[in-house]
């Protein structure tokens, strides 16, 4: 179809070319006839007649010639080119003849009439014209052949271009298909990548969850293991406690003792006895008393182990609490008793305040209850052997506690009396049982004798030497009030007389004459304590000021704070007291640790509470 259309267009163009060529030739012939009309009229008529006659044959020959030449240019299109050449030559000859006749109809008629008379001798000019016509026709044929060659070349190029275009179209289609495949594969790859990403994220979340579960399980397992270990240790401790084989105290290192006492600073020393020195210091933010033995000898080591064993196994409200020890260096850590010992308070050393009589009644009952506890302890009773006012410590609110049980002895429960021989009597003169000094036999009644001497000192605040004689003489003379401590207040006569007689009874020379602590002494002291409690209550309503809460008290002044300020150690102090402290010290009064700074923050909440408490209790 493409070739036919190309050939059709080619033949149409060729027809138009022939038509224009015939028009040009006819025009030239007409002009030539007009120019030579006078001279060649006869020849022109004859020539035109001859041309009209010879044109069909000439046209056929020309057509054959052109056909043979066109066939050499394009063999595949022989039939179409032949028919086209015939039609074009014939049309050209007919158009030329008609145009020449129409262009000059008068001459044509004249020539037609003239030819009848003109002889054939005038053929010479017509031959020249025929040669010119042939020449022009030859030129037209050359042009036609050239046009046909160009058409063939163009058609070949058009075919090549069409073929290349088809190839390019196919290639473009293939590339488009490949591009679509690539895009589809890319989309598939993206989908696969997103799926893999989601899968990875899910796996990562699952791994994280499993990791958290594993960590949680590890922590829980560790907690369970620690609990099991702690339970096992507690079980062992309980078994040891039941069997009496494990010490119930905390072991401190020597470095901790050295740090707490500031290398046994003289400023921290609060007492010194025959067996050791006592220091007041802070250990783990707790005020404690550390007792350090002078030296570790056989006898003192035995005394140290004795005190450590007894205090680590027994607990009583009126026995000094053992917090811990450093056994390797002979150090004992006790709770700190801020009011010193009973001897200092009775004799008012260091200008201490006197103890009211009702407090002395209560102290007597507390000491008796602690001794009764020691004497009835299981599995072995304990005898203190060194009871005296200096070994009775007073804490806050004058609560009394027995200390220094290092000289105590454990008796066989089957025999409450035992022979105890030593190079010298154990204890303090005036408090040692006379029968023990004479026979060397020790028993719970030995502590009763010392307790009787303590009662007499509570009443009189006098030294123990010859005190029993003084009291007996005063009672016999009915002037007991003359020897009572007047600084203790107004003593109740009958109750005080009963207490004095109880003290003399406990201090009998012979053990058999002394009363039983649990059956006779404690009931009397409980009755006297009730009297003292009623008197204390009445006195507190009338004259005794209420005791402030502990958090109102300044740790330095031991009094209610007027302007509470929080220091760098986290404790609250009175402003003036802590400022004075900072002038001489750079450490905390409580922890004894260096302070990072000396800035003080007002504690307005505590100040408002103190003001409210003062206004309610009219405390000055």
CB-based contacts of 582, cutoff 8 Å, min separation 6: 598
User: For residue 421, what is the DSSP state?
Assistant: -
CB-based contacts of 315, cutoff 8 Å, min separation 6: 321
Contact 401, 318 (CB under 8 A): yes
Query: What is the token pair recorded at 105?
Result: 């109809």
β-pair partners for 251: 325
Crossing angle of the two packed helices 2-35 and 123-243, in degrees rounded to 10:
150
**Alpha-carbon Rg for the chain in angstroms:** 73
Give catalytic residues, as residue numbers: 386
User: For residue 376, what is the DSSP state?
Assistant: T
Contact 300, 290 (CB under 8 A): no
Q: What is the DSSP string of 279-341?
A: EEEESSS-EEEEEEES---HHHHHHHHHHHHHHHH---TTBPPEEEEEGGGTEEEEE--TT-B
Give the count of alpha carbons within 13 A of 577, CB side only: 21
Query: What is the token pair recorded at 78?
Result: 């022989």
∠ CA 502-505-506, nearest 5°, is 90
Query: What is the token pair recorded at 122?
Result: 């005038």
Cα 300 from chain centre: 55
C-alpha distances (whole Å) from 568 to each of 165, 560, 598 are: 95, 20, 7
Q: Beta 250-251 vs 322-326: how paired, if at all?
A: parallel
For 581, other C-beta atoms within 10 Å of its C-beta total 19
Q: Please tell me whether the peptide bond between 160 and the residue prior to it is cis, using omega within 30 degrees of 0.
A: no
DSSP H or E stretch at residue 418: strand 418-419
β-pair partners for 602: 565
Tell which residue, 58, 55, 62, 96, has the closest CA to residue 82: 62
The Cα 342–Cα 352 span in angstroms is 11
**Is 291 marked as a binding-site residue?**
yes
547-560: b (≥16 Cβ within 10 Å) or e: ebeeebbbbbeeeb
Query: What is the token pair recorded at 115?
Result: 């030819």
Would you state the torsion angle of the CA atoms of residues 185, 190, 195, 201, taken in this order, to the nearest 10 degrees?
150
The Cα 278–Cα 268 span in angstroms is 9
The Cα 311–Cα 382 span in angstroms is 11
β-pair partners for 292: 277, 331
β-pair partners for 572: 566
The Cα 331–Cα 290 span in angstroms is 7
Query: What is the token pair recorded at 315?
Result: 């607990």
> Can you say which residues are annotated as belonging to the binding site for ATP?
291
Residues at the binding site are 291
């Amino acid at each position: 179809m493409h070739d036919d259309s190309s050939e059709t267009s080619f033949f149409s163009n060729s027809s138009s070319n022939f038509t224009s060529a015939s028009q040009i030739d006819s025009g030239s012939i007409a002009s030539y006839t007009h120019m030579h009309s006078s001279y060649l009229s006869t020849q022109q008529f004859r020539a035109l007649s001859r041309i009209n006659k010879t044109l069909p044959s000439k046209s056929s020959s020309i057509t054959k010639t052109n056909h043979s030449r066109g066939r050499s240019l394009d063999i595949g299109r022989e039939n179409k080119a032949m028919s086209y050449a015939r039609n074009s030559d014939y049309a050209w000859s007919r158009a030329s003849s008609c145009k020449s006749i129409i262009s000059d109809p008068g001459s044509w008629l004249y020539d037609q009439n003239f030819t009848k008379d003109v002889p054939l001798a005038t053929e010479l000019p017509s031959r020249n014209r025929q040669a010119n016509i042939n020449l022009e026709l030859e030129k037209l044929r050359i042009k036609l052949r050239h046009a046909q060659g160009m058409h063939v070349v163009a058609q070949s190029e058009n075919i090549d271009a069409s073929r290349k275009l088809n190839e390019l179209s196919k290639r473009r289609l293939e590339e488009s298909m490949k591009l679509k495949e690539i895009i589809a594969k890319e989309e598939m790859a993206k989908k696969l990548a997103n799926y893999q990403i989601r899968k990875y994220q899910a796996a990562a979340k699952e791994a994280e969850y499993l990791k958290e579960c594993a960590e949680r399980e590890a922590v829980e397992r560790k907690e369970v293991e620690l609990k099991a270990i702690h339970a096992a240790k507690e079980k062992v401790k309980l078994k040891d406690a039941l069997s009496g084989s494990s010490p119930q105290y905390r072991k401190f290192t020597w470095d901790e003792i050295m740090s707490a006492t500031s290398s046994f600073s003289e400023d921290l020393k609060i007492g010194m006895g025959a067996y050791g020195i006592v220091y007041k210091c802070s250990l783990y933010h707790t005020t404690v008393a550390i007792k350090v033995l002078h030296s570790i000898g056989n006898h003192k080591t035995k005394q140290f182990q004795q005190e450590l064993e007894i205090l680590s196994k027994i607990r009583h409200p009126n026995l000094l609490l053992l917090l811990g020890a450093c056994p390797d260096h002979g150090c004992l850590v006790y709770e700190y008793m801020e009011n010193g010992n009973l001897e200092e308070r009775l004799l008012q050393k260091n200008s201490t305040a006197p103890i009211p009589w009702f407090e002395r009644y209560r102290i007597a009952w507390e000491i008796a209850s602690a001794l009764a506890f020691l004497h009835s302890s299981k599995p072995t009773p304990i005898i203190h052997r060194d009871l005296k006012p200096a070994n009775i410590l007073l804490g806050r609110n004058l609560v009394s506690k027995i200390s220094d049980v290092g000289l105590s002895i454990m008796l066989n429960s089957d025999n409450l009396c035992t022979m105890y021989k030593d190079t010298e009597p154990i204890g303090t003169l005036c408090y040692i049982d006379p029968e023990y000094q004479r026979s060397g036999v020790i028993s719970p009644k030995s502590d009763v004798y010392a307790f009787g001497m303590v009662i007499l000192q509570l009443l009189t605040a006098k030294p123990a030497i010859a005190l029993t004689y003084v009291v007996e003489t005063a009672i016999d003379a009915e002037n007991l009030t003359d020897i009572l401590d007047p600084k203790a207040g107004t003593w109740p006569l009958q109750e005080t007389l009963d207490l004095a007689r109880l003290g003399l009874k406990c201090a009998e020379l012979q053990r058999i004459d002394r009363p039983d602590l649990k059956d006779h002494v404690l009931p009397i002291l409980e009755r006297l304590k009730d009297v003292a409690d009623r008197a204390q209550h009445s006195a507190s309503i009338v004259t005794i000021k209420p005791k402030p809460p502990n958090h109102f008290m300044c740790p330095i002044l031991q009094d209610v704070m007027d302007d509470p300020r929080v220091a760098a150690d986290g404790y609250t102090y009175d402003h003036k007291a802590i400022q004075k402290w900072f002038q001489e010290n750079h450490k905390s009064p409580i922890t004894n640790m260096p302070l990072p700074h000396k800035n003080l923050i007002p504690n307005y909440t505590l100040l408002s509470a103190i003001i409210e408490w003062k206004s309610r209790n009219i405390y000055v």
